[in-house]
Amino acid sequence: MKFFKAIAKPFTVFNPDRSALYAFVLGAASVLGFAPFNISPAMLATLMGLFFLWQKAETSFEAMRIGLWFGLGMFGLGTSWLFSSMYFYSGMNIVSSALATFIFVLFLSLYLLVAGLIVSKLKQSNPDRKWVDLAIMMPLVWVLMEWIRGSWFTGFPFLLAGNTHLDTWLDGYAPVFGVLGVSWAIATSAGLFVLLLKSRLWLPISAAFACVWLLGAGLKQITWVHPEGKPVKVALLQGNIPQDKKWLASEFMPSMKVYVEQTKQNMDADVIVWPETAIPAYYDLVQEGVLKSFIRDAQLLEKDILLGVIARTNDHEKYYNALVNARDSQEFYYKKHLVPFSEYFPFANFFKALSLLFNIPFSEFSEGDVVNKPMKLGGQMAGVTICYEIAFGDEMAKTVAKTRYLITVSNDAWFAHTFEPAQQVQDVQMRALELGREIARSTNTGYTMIVGVDGLIKAKIPAYKAGVLKGDVQPYVGETFFAKWKLLPIQLLMGVGLMFVLGARFYKSRKKAVSAE
């Protein structure tokens, strides 16, 4: 009996006590801070609640359970769009889609379970030193888990807290420390606020809180980059082709007609951008087939037309989500970071087994070898990304110094009418802030837009309607601090914080040992 109890004990972390239920509600409420809700204080308030619960937790197991249930609430609601892509568009049945979504949500929640374990091990036992926990240690652990989650296993940078505070004083940290720096400022503010409610030292705590926000406001005043040259005139196409029709053979020619007509009507633009996989066919086939004359005209007119296509190797062993310049087919880009559960499956062997068991169609794109390869478009070097890659600012920073502006394309029809398209807009805005480059974004169903270096949307067209966004993208030169140093500054900040926390624990234990002698 003891043996079975020992085996079952780890699973009791799923048994919600009152604190776990509070954590679950807080996690779900944190989603209000992200798009499309954009209630910035929600993230601050829910982190306050999480830190308060962690501070009260008496055991490591309790702290782990609190972290897990916060994650289940946050990712269960915030990434619920995964179910939509699998059930409605991938051919999976409802049971398999729900199971796959739950596994992924659980996987993301495990990061916060580990965060709870770390918090419990680093907590100060002396109540007089709880300021170390709330103002330094817990914010540090939160940002550490965001960094690890966004880096390990190809990275899953969904719902990073920093995205909730765009267009606030705290987004001034983005050009210096990136989105994780904004997350650190939010988490530190949350810890200080809890400390303010639990302590009588109102003046020093209020001063520390004010410093975090005033420093962010001061950083917003720094001009990191400056414009150079004439604006590039872009035409960003939005075909609004429904995902359930896009891959039907009967819809191929009507889809091509939409994009070709939109292109012909906007030939005065310097660069014309089609959305991700706007051409639902292999490029080598359409190049010599239905789009042969169209591509030849683009070459004769020397017009940069960026096509979202599917490319494949000569042996047909691999195929890629790609961008190709119709003007010069040697200018191409293969997508590196693929979307989980639609382009690739993190637990591939498991889903291959499910595909055989339930007769589910199963296939994957291949990863590209080149990341963020710049293209010369409209006379200026442009960095290009496809969909999910816009979430990885540190990787985009590797080549941003060689670019003057950025182009990203997406097909958010996979997640139509869910939270995901709006959440990805926040990623685009954060990358513009971090990297100091304007971004032109073309999508199949929206949101198609142009974002300035201040992270604000300069122009956009309505989602879920066919249309073309014509506008100017200003080339910029120079580098933000983040673009130059990438994750190193925030990693150093975390390292210093960790050494301080460990030093405080060592000092206390050493002092206790000396007293005992």
How is residue 487 written in tokens?
């994750």
Residue with tokens 């995902």: 243
Q: How far is CA 313 from CA 81, 276, 282, 317, 375, in A?
A: 32, 19, 10, 6, 21
335 as an active site residue: the answer is: yes
β-sheet bridge partners, residue 380: 377
Amino acid at 277: T
User: CA angle, corner 43, sides to 15 and 496, nearest 5?
Assistant: 95
The one catalytic residue in 246, 303, 387, 458 is 387
123 as an active site residue: the answer is: no
Q: How many residues does the chain have?
A: 517
Listing DSSP states for 181-249 in one string gives HHHHHHHHHHHHHHHHHH-S-HHHHHHHHHHHHHHHHHHTT----EE-SPPEEEEEEE----HHHHT-H
Q: What is the rounded CA–CA span in Å between residue 458 and residue 235?
A: 14
The alpha-carbon radius of gyration of the chain (Å, integer) is 25
Q: What is the rounded CA–CA span in Å between residue 127 and residue 343?
A: 50
Q: What is the rounded CA–CA span in Å between residue 410 and residue 55?
A: 42
288 as an active site residue: the answer is: no
Tell me which residue of 340, 346, 417, 414 sits closest to 87, measured CA to CA: 414
β-sheet bridge partners, residue 282: 310
Amino acid at 117: L
β-sheet bridge partners, residue 408: 385, 441
The one catalytic residue in 62, 276, 434, 479 is 276
Q: What is the rounded CA–CA span in Å between residue 481 and residue 487?
A: 10
The one catalytic residue in 130, 220, 303, 335 is 335
- Contact predicate 251/245, CB 8 Å: yes
Beta-strand relationship, 232-238 and 467-473: antiparallel
- Contact predicate 482/435, CB 8 Å: yes
Q: What is the rounded CA–CA span in Å between residue 228 and residue 429?
A: 21
Query: Cβ-count burial of 430 within 10 angstroms (0-12 exposed, 13-18 middle, 19+ buried)?
Result: buried
Sheet holding 375-377, edge to edge: 375-377, 380-386, 405-410, 439-443, 449-451, 457-460
The catalytic residues are 276, 335, 387
